[in-house]
């Protein structure tokens, strides 16, 4: 008898599973249908990722300071480019530190100055002459010095005007 009771319990358990399946199966199938419909809606509403040009992206392993220095060098080179509408003057090939003021003279009511390069070759400059690599221009010649306005980069990387002065050094002989 005990054997028959376990058989009855197992049949009862199977009947319960069948009843549960038929009772809850339609809602489970409906849930599957909702998931399928939701995935179809998601497929319709996909957002396309933007196309990337890998060649223009910054190297993530390169220091930002290196990138900034490259940009500033490009700006500096661009600012040093001379106006194509005028002829290049010989003193534009020299840094101001490589030039030495050796004489100032008065000619016809206007002042002029004699500047030497590192080889000792002399050049005459007047107000308005271009001098130096940073688009320097002579703005004033006094009795003792030549004032020059040239382009320079500030801390932000913008080009600003800077005043430079070449001073006449007297030598006692």
Task: Give pLDDT, residue 116.
Answer: 92
Neighbouring CB atoms inside 10 A of 150's CB total: 19
d(CA 151, CA 136): 7
Joined tokens for residue 110? 């206007």
pTM higher than 0.75, yes or no? no
Q: Domain map of the chain by residue range? A: 1-47, 56-167
CATH fold for domain 56-167: SH3 type barrels. (2.30.30)
Residues 21-79: tens digit of each pLDDT: 555 555 545 555 555 555 555 556 677 788 888 888 878 888 888 888 887 777 766 66
Residue 8 has pLDDT above 70, yes or no: no
Please tell me which residue, 6 or 91, carries the higher pLDDT value.
91
């Amino acid at each position: 008898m005990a054997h028959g009771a376990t058989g009855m319990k197992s049949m009862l358990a199977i009947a319960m599973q069948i009843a549960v399946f038929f009772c809850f199966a339609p809602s489970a199938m409906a849930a599957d249908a909702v998931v399928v419909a939701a995935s179809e809606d998601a497929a319709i509403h996909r957002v396309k990722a933007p196309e990337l040009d890998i060649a223009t992206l910054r190297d993530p392993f390169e220091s930002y300071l290196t990138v900034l220095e490259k940009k500033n060098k490009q700006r500096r080179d661009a600012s040093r480019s001379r106006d194509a509408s005028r002829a290049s003057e010989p003193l534009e090939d020299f840094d101001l530190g490589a030039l030495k003021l050796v004489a100032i003279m008065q000619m016809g009511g206007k002042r002029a100055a004699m500047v030497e390069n590192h080889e000792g070759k002399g050049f005459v400059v007047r107000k308005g002459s271009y001098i130096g690599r940073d688009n320097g221009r002579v703005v004033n010649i006094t009795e003792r010095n030549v004032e020059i306005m040239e382009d320079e980069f500030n801390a932000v990387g913008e080009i600003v005007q800077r005043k430079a002065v070449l001073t006449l050094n007297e030598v006692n002989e």
